[in-house]
Amino acid sequence: MTRRSAGAAPAGWNWNLHHHRAILDAIPPGARTAVDIGTGNGFLAVDLAERGLQVLALDVDAPTAALAAHTIEASGLRGRVEVRHADVLDPGLTDRFDVVASVSTLHHLPDEALGLRRMATLVAPAGVLVVVAFARPSGPADVVRSIAGTVIAQGQRLRGRYWEHDAPLAWPPPHTRRQLERLAATELPGSTVRPLMAGRYCITWRP
């Protein structure tokens, strides 16, 4: 997917933007509300709002939340998206949402298990939790997907199409793919974990 920058100029492509599709494809029929946890520059919140959802976009980093607010303003979706400088682990957040989404945020949290449990508490009874998470390789197939993702990204850079986000970085991820699968199975019974490209994995859970 190609997105606009906060100034409404073409921002290009990257894997995080590409993997928004994993979340958008999981939106339940009749969904009305969503929360984007670790919104970064706010482009997932824009994608969700453009599908008719009322969106709460959270980011614990104040300058990043300000960038997201600028993105929302430039997109003309301020009436559909509230940007909030807040931590998902804050117990004061008690609303439930039809879509609880997070892209490349889990490894930023100080306690990934607590983070998944907290996200699960935000899911409405007929809703869905979708987490696109980084993990280190656990086998040859993981390595191949990671290398292929790097090659594709480099090709986009050479074409001048790659967009570097402005949000804080945290690297490397603390868990391997197998550890991520065990974490999801423990904290989100019944969840699925499927591989995506470029070292990312999609956790999907429904109450």
Q: Which residue has the higher pLDDT, 29 or 8?
A: 29
**Mean local confidence (pLDDT), 151-169:** 70
Q: Residue 37 burial (CB < 10 Å; 0-12/13-18/19+)?
A: buried
In this structure, are strands 200-205 and 123-134 parallel, antiparallel, or unpaired?
antiparallel
Order of strands across the sheet that contains 97-103: 81-85, 54-59, 33-37, 97-103, 123-134, 200-205, 192-195
pLDDT band at 6 (very low <50, low <70, confident <90, very high): very low
pLDDT the model gives residue 30: 96
The percentage of the chain sitting over the pLDDT mark of 90, rounded to a whole number, equals 62
pLDDT digits (tens, 9 = 90+) for 92-149: 888 999 999 999 999 889 899 999 999 999 999 999 999 999 888 899 998 888 888 6
pLDDT band at 19 (very low <50, low <70, confident <90, very high): confident
Q: Is the pLDDT of residue 161 over 90?
A: no
Give the separation between CA 207 and CA 59, rounded to whole angstroms. 24
pLDDT the model gives residue 73: 94
Mean of the per-residue pLDDT values for the chain?
88
pLDDT the model gives residue 28: 97
| Extents of the domains making up the chain | 6-136+167-205
Q: Is the pLDDT of residue 197 over 80?
A: yes
Q: Which CATH number fits domain 6-136+167-205: 3.40.50.150, 3.40.50.410, 3.40.50.300, 3.40.50.720?
A: 3.40.50.150
pLDDT digits (tens, 9 = 90+) for 109-122: 989 999 999 999 99
pLDDT digits (tens, 9 = 90+) for 20-63: 999 999 999 999 999 999 999 999 999 999 999 999 999 999 99
Q: Is the pLDDT of residue 174 over 70?
A: yes
Q: Is the dihedral of CA 45, 48, 50, 54 positive or negative?
A: negative
For tokens 């956790």, name the residue: 203
Residue 179: which of 145, 133, 146 has the closest Cα? 133
